Structure 1
């Protein structure tokens, strides 16, 4: 192991120690890369990775689009809130959440109490390029998906801005963005330590 590798291992161990039982929660719009980046961050940190949408599908035995179609968005959000609250008790982990999860005040409160939150912020062109590859986005089943996405950005970005830190998701390798997430986490935890009153 090189000296650089040793320093990296020590830095990760320190980060995990200060994180304690808290999870790292990724928030942001569909297409921001929460699952792809989240998996990579989990690998770097040696933590389990969980996708709240996948957990919801496992619990309900229905896909997210099917849940939206059968029960509507309000019922889906209620289920999402319960699932995320349960998942947060299983920390530490890296948890990616659905685009609307952080908009719910109760879910945000649970994240504040049990996790450190990271907003993966992406611009409109990046998001549209990514979501165009998948057809399972219920909120974009409209005549004007781009306009819908812009309205979601206008509504949600001020709330996502309440996350503990922001990392810009863009057209870079996932390893680069994941590295920036880990760096942001390290800086946040260090600042948090400095703010704590001396014992």
Structure 2
């Protein structure tokens, strides 16, 4: 049985998942959703407040529940939160219910893109560089393992990245059809 036609974007904060995801959904005529925005919409609270009240574990539980719900849909481009891949169950859901694209960007790019952002609880530290380095060190191998393919986003427009994803998807689908 082939996987559904969903596309899931994974990667660290600042990789461009939401922005690229919107362009990708438009190019493919799919619905775009952002798991973090869905959490905020359904709880009526911002992610920083959820972290403050429930801690990271509480947030991750909400994230897993939203992921399970959203990935049951079809014809979807989903931008996921950076830590969604920490759960083996989440990685299994992503793999079984769509094509997983890892949006990669180097540390300097991620730092530049998140430097003014006060909405990311994990980056509200005195040493954002060190925090982001630690996050990347822990998550990079998991992103790569979970992904069907990796796309570089640094120094590129979101539209050009979305177009590359479309080309890779076409090739990926063609290869899957040849294999079956």
Gaps of 5+ in 2: none
Give the secondary-structure state (helix, strand or coil) at the position aligned to 2:71: helix
Q: 1:113 aligns with which of 83, 91, 96?
A: 96
Alignment check: 8 A CA contact 1:22 1:92 kept = yes
TM-score by length of 1: 0.87
Partner Cα distance (1:107, 1:94) in 2: 16
Higher relative contact order at CA 8 Å, sep ≥6: structure 1 or structure 2? Answer: 2
What residue is the counterpart of 1:180 in the other structure? 164
The structural deviation recorded for 1:21 is 3.5
Partner Cα distance (2:166, 2:118) in 1: 31
The structural deviation recorded for 1:133 is 2.9
Alignment check: 8 A CA contact 1:20 1:92 kept = no
**1:135 to 2:118 alignment:** yes
What residue is the counterpart of 1:8 in the other structure? none
What residue is the counterpart of 2:36 in the other structure? 53
**1:167 to 2:144 alignment:** no
How do 1:48-87 residues align onto structure 2 when only pairs under 5 Å count? Answer: 48-87=31-70
TM-score by length of 2: 0.96
Structure of greater Rg: 1
The structural deviation recorded for 1:22 is 2.9
Partner Cα distance (2:174, 2:47) in 1: 37
The structural deviation recorded for 1:20 is 7.1
The alignment's C-alpha RMSD in Å is 1.1
Partner Cα distance (2:90, 2:3) in 1: 20
Partner Cα distance (1:103, 1:33) in 2: 19
What residue is the counterpart of 1:22 in the other structure? 5
Alignment check: 8 A CA contact 2:3 2:98 kept = no
Alignment check: 8 A CA contact 2:15 2:104 kept = yes
Partner Cα distance (2:86, 2:172) in 1: 22
**1:193 to 2:174 alignment:** no
What residue is the counterpart of 1:10 in the other structure? none
